Amino acid sequence: MFQTLVLTVIGEDRPGLVEMLSNVVQLNKGSWKESRMAHLADKFAGIVTVEVEKNEETKLVAALEDLEPLGLKVSVERASVVDRDLLELSIKVIGNDRPGIVKEVSEKLASLQVNVKELSSFCEPAPMSSEMLFVANFLLALPKHLTESDLENTIEEISSDLMVERN
């Protein structure tokens, strides 16, 4: 029987962090399944899912915790299997950059019972002006009763400068 673990990792960015983490996973009989990693503000941060036999889990978790003195803090959560009948939708939200956009959009999503599966965001100069645009890419899980157009309209109600595009 296997257990899926979700690891969150963070450390001062430097060469060799992924190698160090993947080595510990392999040496402790884990199997690296999925990951998202990035350099953010001089830190290396990531999320990794690992499968390990249940009888090897404790050993792997202890070895991962031993990485902290080496500069990589690893938090471990056990994953459970959730079978939900949801529709996935990928959207892009674009608007003039200002504080609070993610908060406002996430409030609307939560009120509609929409789950955020992935979120990436960045700022870029607006074409033909010096203003900055905020761009957020969402992968969402919608309940069956919610239409894509209802979702789009609800988000665009936040502000006249917010646009929603389907990816």
pLDDT value for 128: 86
pLDDT value for 64: 99
Residues 59 and 111 in one domain: no
Residues 98 and 134 in one domain: yes
Residues 125 and 66 in one domain: no
Residues 60 and 104 in one domain: no
Confidence class for position 140, pLDDT limits 50, 70, 90: very high
pLDDT value for 77: 97
Residues 65 and 26 in one domain: yes
CATH at residue 160: 3.30.70.260
Does 82 score more than 70 pLDDT?
no
Residues 63 and 97 in one domain: no
Summarize the confidence of residues 87-106 as an average pLDDT.
96
What is this structure's pTM?
Answer: 0.77
For CA atoms 22, 26, 27, 29, give the dihedral sign.
Answer: positive
pLDDT tens digits for range 42-67: 999 999 999 999 999 999 999 999 99
Given 78, 111, 141, which residue is the final one in a domain? Answer: 78
SS (H, E, C) 75-131: EEEECCCCCCCCEEEEEEEEEECCCCHHHHHHHHHHHCCCEEEEEEEEEEECCCCCC
Does 68 score more than 80 pLDDT?
yes
SS (H, E, C) 89-105: EEEEEEEECCCCHHHHH
Residues 92 and 71 in one domain: no
Given 78, 103, 118, which residue is the final one in a domain? Answer: 78
What six digits make up the tokens of 44? Answer: 């290396």
pLDDT tens digits for range 155-167: 999 999 999 999 8
Residues 124 and 71 in one domain: no
Residues 115 and 160 in one domain: yes
Residues 116 and 72 in one domain: no
Q: Which long-range contacts (CB under 8 A, 24 or more apart) does 77-80 make?
A: 77/5, 77/6, 77/8, 78/3, 78/4, 78/5, 78/6, 79/3, 79/4, 79/5, 79/6, 79/49
Confidence class for position 119, pLDDT limits 50, 70, 90: very high
Split into its structural domains, the chain has a count of 2
Domain, as residue range, for 148: 87-166
Given 22, 44, 78, which residue is the final one in a domain? Answer: 78
Confidence class for position 83, pLDDT limits 50, 70, 90: low
Strands 132-142 and 43-53: unpaired
Residues 93 and 69 in one domain: no
